[in-house]
Structure 1
Amino acid sequence: MTLPTEQSAHVIPGATSGLKAQCLSYIEVLAQSVSVIAPSTVPAAVLGLIYASSGNGTWLSFLIGMIGLVLVSVNINLFARRSASAGSLYSYIVQGLGPTAGVLGGWALLFGYLFTGMSTLCGFVATSKGLFGSVGLAPPSWLIFLVTTALAGAVACRDVKMSAKSMLAFEGAAVAAVLALGIVIWRAHGFALDSDQLTLQGASPGGVMAGVALVVFAFSGFESSTALGEEARDPLRAIPRSVVQSVIISGAIFIFMAYVVILGFRGLPDDLAKSEAPLLLLSNVLGVGWLGVFITIGILLSFFSCTLASINATARIVFAMARNGVAPRWLGAVHKTNRTPWLAIGFVTLATFVVAFAPTQFGVGEFEAQGYFGTLCAFGFLSTYVLVSLAAPAYLRKQGKLTRRAIVLGELAAGFMIIPFLGAVGLPGSELFPPPAFPNNILVWVFVAYMTVGAVWLFRLRRLKAAPLDQIFEENSVSQGK
């Protein structure tokens, strides 16, 4: 096996890691990205927060966010069309910016996926407690946390195809229920065109852009199908399609549901910006409470699907880093029968359970913890999206194929990611991006501390190894095509 240098990190033709090769269809690959986005949960849990900032411009915030992430996906696909591996964006950043930036990018991406899984796990527990309570049951939180995480880990270990099919079924059912309610709401209003929304009545540019920050968080994880590079059929076609189409499909759902839900709240005494369960409220108002129950069950399945997808993606990045010599080697083990990275999955599953459950022991509720974890995961994704957008033109320059278009797309995508970052961190004295209140104002420092630990670990790794990082980094991915 050849070893990449800082100048020529690339994929190794014909290399294999032992994972079950080319077993996933395009739809199953797409299910991975869509499940991490979890589009059914956004109208149910996040829409009110975006509306509080964007008002009648909420649909425009979603549209701008979708366009920005399509730009990021174009940069990702510069790599995805040329190479496929279990390393996700981590491997791509290595190819463009070298192993040092790649390892730090992978470290940030792990943060994003881990906290996404923790956020949706908390959402699952909170939603399931509500369902149990409606029938007079009250199982302890720790039991729901434990059983849910163990089940997700078991499915992930058992078979990647089973995981993909489960995610496809669960998220598909949830989206179908949400869209059905959306059509019912619009029909109740005579399929009207809402002039207030179409003319952005009362919306301000600052409010719309502040809403974009939350919208980008809602799309986080759209690129997770890149972690299935060794297990997808025809990965150099399937993965690029899934990356772009997951954004477009989810964006269309977001825009439609934002439009009809805001329309549905017209004339109601309730405030959408303060509603914790807008879809359930609207289903009861319209006399289709039974559909609200189905939506709640669908949301529950969607939370589980996202937790499973996050474990799958995180474990494969850990696996790739272990195979590349920058994480403990034992995490690079493959199950002999199932051909899944079972030790990496077990490690990630345990971490997900422990960290997600811990805040509840200090008086933090599951819904509150879900919000904190959701904000934290965004820092990891935003950092990685900036790096991969900068890595794309750098990679093309190494290949002698750099174009002005590639430079512009990379700069636009990286620049766009500044918007949600400012929305999360805030600027002192700014009305457009005001600093968040405690404890949200300290969350960014949690990420900074995490990245500092990663940088120190990387520094020690370079010091402990006899060879420089560009020689100890062993690329282990499957390459096809150009």
Structure 2
Amino acid sequence: MKTDAALSRRLTTLDATMIGLGSMIGAGVFAAFAPAAQAAGAGLLIGLVIAAAVAWCNAAASAQLAAVHPVAGGTYAYGRERLGPWWGFFAGWSFLVGKTASCAAMALVFAAYVAPAAWEKSVAIAAIVAMTTVNLLGVTRTALATKIIVTFVVVVLVGVLVVAVGSDSSTAHQISFLGNTSIYGILQSAGVLFFAFAGYARIATLGEEVINPQRAIPRAIMIALAITAALYLALGLAMLSVLGVAGLAQSQAPVADLLDSAGWGWAWASSLVSVTAGVASLGALLALMAGIGRTTFAMARNSDVPRWLGAVHPQFAVPYRAELILAIVVIVVILLADLRGAIAFSSFGVLLYYFVANVAAFTQPQTQRRVPRFVSVLGAAGCLVLVATVPLIGVVVGAIILIVGIPVRLLSNRQSRGLSAHGA
């Protein structure tokens, strides 16, 4: 197997858009609104707008960079090209480690919705094995599975919205956007809700596998983000109007409670919501694992991680070693780790990743720009502001993991130079 091979361009604009939707419309839509309501009350809608605005700035940066650098790796590749190797490495490393923890969390969320408590870890591991198998069969299989999952989830969520709007209870609660909510509370809610949007980066990480990437990637990123933002805003309004601030803040399953309050509290309806939440988590997991595999592939190609991770399968044209190692690491995390701090660290990593994207986009010349430079400035500033809402433990652990990455890169580079010197 050659470790310097290229991936094949097999994805259409629709494929890329659906992968982006699958990454964003995941477990977050079923879980993020309750903690956002706890932080900001009805001010979560303001937080949602802030989160969407920061996401749009980041997406604009990613789209602008992807149009010029349509290669695997996303911000890792852009940071390396525009800012230098170490900028790219820290973006890629934070993405790999943070999102690996997110994979474990997604698998456990899936299991929590569809399996008895005693079987949750076993089912989570089975989900990792299944999604790895799909990804190993080729990126077109990943895209097909994601299309099916996204279509099912969106149809169910739109159905829930129709039921909620059509019920008498939909006007039971008046929404007061501010009330006693602090600015910090609103920013906290923005920080929680931002990560429900973060999946559009998955489109950019697949840049080497998209047909006509200069046109398709920017279009897919913006379409996926617009659809997700519209759906989240509608759901947020429905939850606040039907459940009220207190009801939403205390809810363990807001979408299911939305159906209950609308008079659809039947067993089959609750079961449908649980299955939909599980399927959405599975879709996000599938797209997330594909993105991590491609970022690892790109980093291995540049000797920022061991080069043997960059091997591409001759038949299925996927970075199969990176996918397999990822699956093993995620399974170990599921078995051994306490994941309560994983979300905080993942948040830290994602914000750093997008901060680099905005800085890289800022350096592009006018001929490559799709949006004014101030958009990149706003995006970078937004990432730094939202970092302030991340729990301290997430920042501390994130900084430690980033430091650990330094010897990984130095050793990988040294090994690569040694192999070259011996004619390998």
Residue 314 of structure 2 corresponds to residue 327 of structure 1: no
Report the AA paired with residue 171 of structure 1: V
* Alignment partners' CA distance in 2, 1:71 and 1:319: 26
- What residue ranges of structure 1 are gaps of 5+ in the alignment? 1-15, 426-440, 473-482
Equivalent position to 1:418, from 381, 384, 393: 384
Report the AA paired with residue 340 of structure 1: V
* Alignment partners' CA distance in 2, 1:85 and 1:154: 24
Do the aligned residues in 1 keep the contact of 2:107 with 2:125 (CA within 8 Å)? no
Where does residue 256 of structure 1 map in the other structure?
234
* Alignment partners' CA distance in 2, 1:165 and 1:266: 38
Do the aligned residues in 1 keep the contact of 2:175 with 2:240 (CA within 8 Å)? no
Report the AA paired with residue 257 of structure 1: L
Per the normalisation by structure 1, the TM-score is 0.80
Residue 138 of structure 2 corresponds to residue 159 of structure 1: yes
Structure with greater Cα Rg: 1
What are the within-5 Å matches in structure 2 for residues 234-273 of structure 1?
Answer: 234-266=212-244, 271-273=247-249
What root-mean-square deviation, in Å, do the aligned CA atoms of Structure 1 and Structure 2 show?
A: 2.6
Per the normalisation by structure 2, the TM-score is 0.90
Where does residue 298 of structure 1 map in the other structure?
276
Report the AA paired with residue 344 of structure 1: A
Report the AA paired with residue 190 of structure 2: V
**1:282–1:465 Cα change, 3 Å:** closer
In the TM superposition, residue 221 of structure 1 has moved relative to its aligned partner by: 2.6
Which deviates further from its counterpart, 386-395 or 205-214? 205-214
Q: Secondary structure at the match of 1:19?
A: coil
Equivalent position to 1:310, from 281, 284, 288: 288
Do the aligned residues in 1 keep the contact of 2:108 with 2:121 (CA within 8 Å)? no
In the TM superposition, residue 350 of structure 1 has moved relative to its aligned partner by: 1.1
Q: Secondary structure at the match of 2:363?
A: helix
Q: Secondary structure at the match of 2:23?
A: helix
Do the aligned residues in 1 keep the contact of 2:79 with 2:356 (CA within 8 Å)? yes
* Alignment partners' CA distance in 2, 1:67 and 1:122: 30
- What residue ranges of structure 2 are gaps of 5+ in the alignment? none
Residue 362 of structure 2 corresponds to residue 393 of structure 1: yes
In the TM superposition, residue 190 of structure 1 has moved relative to its aligned partner by: 7.3
1:389-411 CA-partner distances (Å, limit 9, x unpaired): 11112233xxx7598x7442222
Do the aligned residues in 2 keep the contact of 1:113 with 1:221 (CA within 8 Å)? no
Residue 404 of structure 2 corresponds to residue 457 of structure 1: no
* Alignment partners' CA distance in 2, 1:233 and 1:378: 31
Residue 74 of structure 2 corresponds to residue 88 of structure 1: yes
Residue 396 of structure 2 corresponds to residue 445 of structure 1: yes
* Alignment partners' CA distance in 2, 1:327 and 1:214: 31
Equivalent position to 1:143, from 107, 119, 122: 122
Equivalent position to 1:185, from 164, 179, 202: 164
1:325-352 CA-partner distances (Å, limit 9, x unpaired): 2222221111121111111111111111
Equivalent position to 1:376, from 345, 352, 371: 345
**1:108–1:266 Cα change, 3 Å:** closer
Where does residue 34 of structure 1 map in the other structure?
21
Report the AA paired with residue 389 of structure 2: G
Do the aligned residues in 2 keep the contact of 1:24 with 1:231 (CA within 8 Å)? yes
Residue 57 of structure 2 corresponds to residue 55 of structure 1: no
In the TM superposition, residue 35 of structure 1 has moved relative to its aligned partner by: 1.7
- How many correspondences in the alignment? 415
Where does residue 70 of structure 1 map in the other structure?
56
**1:302–1:201 Cα change, 3 Å:** same
* Alignment partners' CA distance in 2, 1:157 and 1:341: 8
Report the AA paired with residue 18 of structure 2: A
Q: Secondary structure at the match of 1:423?
A: coil
Percent identical residues: 21
Q: Secondary structure at the match of 1:223?
A: helix
* Alignment partners' CA distance in 2, 1:318 and 1:462: 15
Where does residue 409 of structure 1 map in the other structure?
375
Do the aligned residues in 2 keep the contact of 1:93 with 1:105 (CA within 8 Å)? yes
* Alignment partners' CA distance in 1, 2:70 and 2:172: 44
**1:463–1:231 Cα change, 3 Å:** closer
Q: Secondary structure at the match of 1:120?
A: helix
Equivalent position to 2:7, from 15, 19, 22: 19
Where does residue 233 of structure 1 map in the other structure?
211
Bigger fraction of residues in helix:
2
**1:205–1:103 Cα change, 3 Å:** closer
**1:338–1:462 Cα change, 3 Å:** closer
Residue 139 of structure 2 corresponds to residue 173 of structure 1: no
In the TM superposition, residue 464 of structure 1 has moved relative to its aligned partner by: 6.4
In the TM superposition, residue 463 of structure 1 has moved relative to its aligned partner by: 6.0
Report the AA paired with residue 376 of structure 1: F
Residue 108 of structure 2 corresponds to residue 109 of structure 1: no
Where does residue 284 of structure 1 map in the other structure?
260
Q: Secondary structure at the match of 1:221?
A: helix
Do the aligned residues in 2 keep the contact of 1:95 with 1:395 (CA within 8 Å)? no
In the TM superposition, residue 382 of structure 1 has moved relative to its aligned partner by: 0.4
Report the AA paired with residue 17 of structure 1: A
**1:193–1:408 Cα change, 3 Å:** farther
1:66-94 CA-partner distances (Å, limit 9, x unpaired): 11111112222221121211121111111
